[in-house]
Chains A and B, each alone.
Chain A
């Protein structure tokens, strides 16, 4: 199993550009989520999904869209990038929802918005 994969590893955008961060997992996990990590702030939840076709907002959803058309994939879209979105983005998945299950994280995407 590859686990949770994320692409790209690094990305530089100009203000106003759009892009999609890809996330895929091959563990048949129901629960998937996106976090951003900024210095001194831990990880903050952007969006999450409890299954295909179901998504919901997390703590910091503004400026981001998600969709979950399959169990495996959970892309994160930046509609119009802003410098405040410069961060490291992590995708995570877990098997069970509603239980304190192990969350498996991808290697992250480091995004810089100029």
Chain B
């Protein structure tokens, strides 16, 4: 079974601060996805990174895929209350099934 560990598990910061969330595994994934989940809703895809070392930016969010495709990070610059939510990384397996292995999640709260 492929496991994805996220850290930190919880993060409470003030508006304007920067933060980084880590997603680590001992397994190699063909690609990695990041989702954000609001209370009472399903996860929504933010980004997919495919190539080892790839960096993608989505406004104030920067996503990086590790060179060995075993880990990833999400960096948020100048966090805002609207960034509050549960952030989940998900590794995409190889093969035709394209199964996702989800990380344990990082719950972020941004206060004014």
Contact = CB atoms under 8 A, between A and B. Distances in A.
Partners in one complex: yes
Interface string A9-42: 0000000000000000000000101010000111
B104 A56 contact: no
A103 interface: yes
A67 B30 CA distance: 28
B82 interface: no
Interface of A: 4, 31, 33, 35, 40-45, 48, 50, 56, 58-59, 90, 92, 94, 96-103, 105-108
B60 interface: no
A43 B41 contact: no
Counting chain B CB atoms within 10 Å of each CB, the highest count among A33, A45, A100, A108 belongs to A100
A107 B100 contact: no
A42 B92 contact: no
Contacts of B42: 4, 90, 92, 105-108
Contacts of A98: 95-98
Interface string B37-67: 0001111110010100000000000000000
